[in-house]
Amino acid sequence: MEKYVVLKKKDFNDFIAKLALMQTVVAPVKKGKKSFAFQEVTTGKEIALQYIPTILPPKKYFMPQQETIMKFNKAKFEWTPVLEYNEITIFGVHTCDLAGIQCLNMVFTNKPKDINYIVRKDKITIIGFECNAYCDEFASCAAMDNHIPNGGYDLFFTELNDSFIIHVNTLMGEKIIEEISLFSKANDDNLKELEELRTKKREIFKNELNTKHSDLKAVFENSFNSKVWKDIGAKCVACGNCTNVCPTCYCFDIKDEMNLDFNTGSRIRVWDSCQNEDFAKVAGGESFREERANRQKHRYMRKFNYPVDKFSRYFCTGCGRCTRTCMAQIKLKETVNALAEEKK
Amino acid sequence: MKKVKVAFFDFTCCEGCQLQVANMGETLLDVLDLIDVVEFREVMSEKSSTYDVAIVEGSITTHHAIERIKKIRKTAKVLIAFGSCAAIGGINGMKNNFDLTDIREYVYQKDAKHFDTIPTRAVHQVVPVDYFVPGCPVYIPEFVKVLKSALMGIAYNVPDNAVCVECKLNENECMYDKGIACMGPVTRAGCNSWCINNGNICYGCRGIVSNPAEKGQKDIMEKYNISLEWIENKINMYNKPRELGELKTNE
Ligand code: SF4
Ligand code: SF4
Ligand code: SF4
Ligand code: SF4
Ligand code: SF4
């Protein structure tokens, strides 16, 4: 049977404080008027429970912006693999970002397996947090079917009137509930309140796009020569923001850094982006995707078309980050709708 | 390893970039294990006429400077354009906004005729340059990278993507979200978004990316209500000499 427990709102700060004694806790913290970021916290007061998706998604803990993967010693012809990881708990992950982590898991546990990622992922405890209403007008999580929890967490919090109801999903989740003895078993009233909340949510969250979830792939498959890409290409300034903030973009570059002794050094993995000028450049300076229109098309295809063939799921979670951050006001919902409109 | 002889030279500039080197602290000691500094006005007085690597600071603004930089180029095996003045013309380029005679008289008044002046040029607009370290002032971690590349004989390319990329990776709140205009979207990365990390906007000191989208920039300006003049002024503040030829970065 599904296991649900309840935490009184007045005990929330105490819960975070106790959790922080068990493990490093990171959670959404307010950084500016509309900006939030996952950061280390030690008390519940630091956490912004009502937040718009953070500047960077939690992917930064699964694949850090900069990661040393090897050390070398030239004179000794030695290569030593390096595994960098921390045992952390991420508190407050929205359902869209849970979906993002599920996508990354598929990519990095599929062949070729990424050992560094897999080891790191197993050290991370995930506590989800439900959105009872939209974060803002840029979200399209309902269209992508990610507004209701669908696994991918150890514990999942939903805010009720004067308590939180928590779904316990893994042994790790169980362990936390046991060790921090602030929880009580959910009773029928609590479960009913959760039920009602979900019903209400179905009223609030409606497909934000003009296309059915199952038809999205076809829209993109038939859009290779669409004029929409040209319009976007003319606007895009190639700042790379949309890919860096996307929870399912995982492209990286590998760099070797020599130390000043000119003998030892390290191999470093850094985030890269298909929007960057040099990304599709090969030796000799030729670029496969000189045109911004083509780079944007590629980005969208990597969300709505290619991954469906490879992983049987869309790689857009509907989090809305790319729209929020775009310097040129390119809006995902508008793009998808325009493509679908053209096809009609 | 035999130590490489390195000489620093300054042309028209504030010498702020050399000061960055003098302030390097511990890394400087590691660097000094590898190189022999034979000329460096900021911290020493001896002069040398032989060197392997010339690190040139400042832009070229007089006929005399052209002769001097040609001589340096002849002697040096490797020439590094150091700082924005040398790499892209920098602040001195603002002079190119005006008529040369007018600006000379404005600056030197009645002694103007004694002062030779030509339109401001970046070093590569006069002699070939092997490495570029843009920045006003230079960002020391990048300078160390360039120095290592030079000593290993491999290329260093100044990144050709926007400062925004590094700014996002550092998870800063975007200046535009605070209602402040910022040059990040058109400026070449490589400084690890140094200024924004410290609460300032990007002034565009590292030069403009090779392929800025003019139409896109206009949309941004409209979205945030920024005047074309503001952008032009900001671009010209560091990048005026680009009209005399694009910044090259060994690509
Ligand atoms: S494409 Fe945009 S909305 Fe979709 S997951 Fe990426 S950032 Fe979020
Ligand atoms: S996109 Fe949906 S799930 Fe994600 S934060 Fe917004 S409302 Fe919540
Ligand atoms: S955020 Fe907007 S302007 Fe920047 S690369 Fe993406 S689409 Fe282009
Ligand atoms: S603050 Fe400036 S550099 Fe950073 S993302 Fe915004 S525009 Fe780009
Ligand atoms: S943030 Fe902009 S102004 Fe500051 S060092 Fe970097 S390029 Fe120069």
State the average pLDDT for chain A: 92
Residue B251 banded pLDDT, cuts 50, 70, 90: very low
**Cβ–Cβ < 8 Å for B251, B133:** no
Helix axes A227-235, B214-224, angle to 10 degrees: 70
The whole-number average pLDDT for the span B157-169 is 92
- Please report the DSSP string for A182-212 in residue order: T-EE--HHHHHHHHHHHHHHHHH----SSS-
Nearest-atom number in ligand 3 for the CA of A325 is: 1
Give me the residue from B152, B162, B173 closest to A240, CB to CB: B162
How many of the other CB atoms lie within 10 Å of CB of B224? 16
Distance of CA A132 from the midpoint of ligand 2 (Å): 9
> In this complex, how many residue pairs, one in chain A and one in chain B, have their CB atoms less than 8 Å apart?
109
User: Which residue is listed with tokens 């508008």?
Assistant: A334
pLDDT at A238 (0 to 100): 84
Looking at residue B10, what is its pLDDT? 85
Residues of B in contact with A28 (CB under 8 A): none
Domain range summary for chain A, segments of one domain joined by +:
3-63+84-204, 213-251+278-343
User: What residue type is assigned to position B195 of the chain?
Assistant: C
CA of A87 to the centre of ligand 4 (A): 31
Task: List the single residue in A34, A234, A276 with the smallest CB-CB distance to B165.
Answer: A276
pLDDT (tens digit per residue) in A294-320: 888 889 899 998 899 999 999 999 999
SS3 call for A293: helix
Residue B122: what pLDDT? 85
CB A128 within 8 A of CB A93: yes
Contacts of B213 in chain A (CB under 8 A): 234-238, 292, 328
Largest CA distance in chain A: 69
Assess A84–B contact: CB distance below 8 Å, yes or no.
Answer: no
The mean pLDDT value for B48-72 works out to: 87
Mutate to test the pocket of ligand 2, among A102, A202, A319 (most ligand atoms within 8 A of CB): A319
Domain boundaries, chain B: 4-157, 163-240
pLDDT > 90 fraction of chain B, expressed in percent and rounded: 29
b/e map A264-284, b = 16+ CB within 10 Å: ebbbbbebbbbbbbbbebeee
The sign of the torsion formed by the CA atoms of A8, A9, A11, A14 equals: positive
State which amino acid sits at residue A41: V
pLDDT in tens, A161-209: 999 999 999 999 999 999 999 999 999 999 999 999 999 999 999 999 9
User: How far does residue A335's CA lie from ligand 3's centre (Å)?
Assistant: 13
Q: Please check whether residue A51 touches B, CB under 8 A.
A: no
Confidence of residue B250 (pLDDT cuts 50, 70, 90): very low
Ligand 4 proximity of B196 Cβ (cutoff 6 Å): yes
Which 8-state DSSP code applies to residue B137? Answer: T
> What 3-state DSSP class applies to B1?
coil
Q: Is the pLDDT score of A85 beyond 50?
A: yes
Beta pairing, strands A36-41 & B53-57: unpaired
- Ligand 1 atom with the smallest distance to the CA of A53 is 8
Ligand 4 atom at minimum distance from B196 CA: 1
Give this prediction's pTM.
Answer: 0.88
CATH superfamily entry for domain B4-157: NADH:ubiquinone oxidoreductase-like, 20kDa subunit (3.40.50.700)
Name the band, by pLDDT with cuts 50, 70 and 90, for residue B2: confident
The residue-averaged pLDDT of B112-141 equals: 86
Residue-wise pLDDT for B69-86, tens only, equals 999 999 899 999 999 888
Q: Answer yes or no: is pLDDT of A17 > 60.
A: yes
What three-state secondary structure class fits B237?
A: helix
> What's at A154, amino acid-wise?
D
Question: B120 — phi, psi (to 5°)?
Answer: -65, 135
Say yes or no to pLDDT of B106 above 90. no
Best interface-test mutation with A: which of B168, B186, B223, B247 has the largest number of A CBs within 10 A? B168
Closest alpha carbon to A128 in A101, A160, A105? A101
Nearest to B177 among A35, A37, A276 (CB): A35
Residue A341 has pLDDT above 80, yes or no: yes
Q: Is the Cβ pair B171, A325 closer than 8 Å?
A: no
Cβ-based neighbours of B219, under 8 Å, separated by 6 or more: A235, A328, A329
- The C-alpha atoms of residue B105 and residue B114 are separated, in whole angstroms, by 11
Q: What is the ipTM of this complex?
A: 0.87
